[in-house]
Amino acid sequence: MIGYLIRRVMQAVIVVLGVCLIVFILYHLLPGGAFSQGRLILGPRASVASIELWIQQNGLNKPIWTQFAILIGHVFTFNLGYSYKLNEPVATIIAQKLPKTVLLLGLAVLVTVIVAIPLGIFQVLRRNKPSDYVLTTLSFIFYATPTFFLGIVLIQLFSIHWHVFPPEAPQAASVGGILADWQALVLPVLTLAAVFIAGFSRYMRSSMMDALTQDYVRTARAKGLSTRRVNYVHALRNALIPIVTLLGLTLPAIVSGALITEDVYNYPGMGLAFYNAAINSDFPLLIGTVLVAAVATVVGSLLADILYAVLDPRIRYV
């Protein structure tokens, strides 16, 4: 187990280094190179000499491998540079935005799990009956719906037609303030969760179906346990284990979905900050947010893997 943990953490570190490399390459693909970045930061009236000084101060004239080493150092000390547009350190901006995105993601994952698992079980118990087919078709449709389109449709229905929920996400500065404005939070969370409910309930359905064909279920039936007990105690507990892995693997997609959702509802999180940075060519913020999103995703997947190992004692890690 310890060996597995160490190996898995090592893999995660390698992946993070790989992400740094990708980001570094992207940074060097930036139009105009170091000089025009200096121009962007120091403004149009800066003299050539002061831009060259800036380049020197930021080490952008050093050999490329030294620069990469500096980037790695910065990443591990959480020094992500300075946003051109917002005039604030990138780390400060991310520290403000990240908890809000984590809140949105957490709520969406919670709703997904709460809805998808019973839905999947329901479909197994009613399999090949009309209700199963209807739910299957529905989940296919939701799975195929682009997140932003779903968001727009929900706004049309719930905000413009029925005036139930506001069309804009909470704009409060603190996480507590966002939670207090829970009505405005309903639509963003629903939008983000809907697509994943579709995928997870399908997976839950096949996982439960698998579990029901196992020998231990037959044994449980043979010794006379009630169907209810067999279904919920023996099959369900085993069917839930792969869901944890799925959660870890879906995390990158959920984070991508958050980018779209935040954009649709103007939710003040990482995704929106990233998107605004992309539009404004605010490269330090852009690169910083990608890096943090990637690292957070890797850590999330790592946690899901470890949880999986803890949950399933049958697995031996050598």
Partner 1 sequence: MMPPSDVPSQDDIFKQRGAVQADVVQSQVGEAPMEVTEAGEAGGVGGLGKIVWRVFAENKLALVSIGIVVFMLLFCFVGPHVYVTNQTSLVVTSAGQVLAHPSAQYPLGTDPNGYNILGRLMFGGATTLEIALLAAGIATVFGVFFGATSGYVGGATDAVMMRIVDTILSVPTLFLLVVIATILRPSFWLIVLIVAIAAWLVPARLIRGESLTLRTREYVQAVRAMGGGGSRIVVRHIIPNAVGTIIVNATFQLADAVGVLAALGFLGFGVPAPGTSWGQMLSDGITYAQAGDWWLIYPAGVLIILITVSFNYIGDALRDAFEVRLQRR
Residues that bind partner 1 (CB under 8 A): 4, 7, 11, 14-15, 18-19, 22, 26, 29-31, 127-128, 136, 140-141, 143-149, 152-153, 155-156, 160, 199, 202-203, 205-207, 209, 242, 245-246, 249, 252-253, 255-256, 259-260, 263, 274-275, 278-279, 281, 286-287, 289-290, 293-294, 297-298, 301, 305, 308-309, 314-318
One-letter amino acid identity for 178? I
For residues 294 and 196, give the distance between their C-alpha atoms in angstroms, rounded to a whole number: 20
In contact, 34 and 60? CB cutoff 8 Å: yes
Cα 144–258–71 angle (5° rounding)? 125
Count other Cβ atoms within 10 Å, centred on residue 189. 24
Q: How far is Cα 119 from Cα 285, in angstroms, rounded to an integer? A: 40
Q: Which is nearer to partner 1, 67 or 147 (CB)?
A: 147
Query: Residue 35 CB, nearest distance to partner 1 (Å)?
Result: 16
Q: How far is the CB of 67 from partner 1 (least distance, A)?
A: 17
Query: Per the structure block, which two tokens stand in for 215?
Result: 């020998």
- DSSP code, position 44: T
Looking at the DSSP bridge assignments, the partners of residue 102 are: none
Whether 154 and 187 have beta carbons less than 8 Å apart is answered as: yes
Residue number with CB closer to partner 1 (49 or 162) = 162
Altogether, the residues listed in the chain come to a count of: 318
**Beta carbon of residue 255, minimum distance to partner 1 (angstroms, whole number):** 4
Is residue 82 helix, strand or coil? strand
Distances (CA, A) of 3 to 11, 289, 305, 311: 12, 32, 14, 17
Min dist CB 148 to partner 1, Å, is: 4
- Kindly tell me which of 53 and 206 has the beta carbon lying closer to partner 1: 206
Helix or strand (DSSP H, E) at 238:
helix 236-265
Q: Which is nearer to partner 1, 131 or 174 (CB)?
A: 131
CB nearer to partner 1: give 53 or 209.
209
Q: How far is the CB of 210 from partner 1 (least distance, A)?
A: 9
Nearer to partner 1, 167 or 170 (CB): 167
The residues with which 89 forms a beta bridge, in sequence order, are 82
Shortest distance (Å) from residue 145 CB to partner 1: 5
Backbone angles phi, psi at 82, to 5 degrees: -130, 130
Given the complex with partner 1, which of 76 and 149 has the nearer CB atom? Answer: 149
CB 187 → partner 1: shortest distance, Å? 14
Q: Report which of 127, 116, 131 is spatially closest to residue 243, judged by C-alpha positions.
A: 116
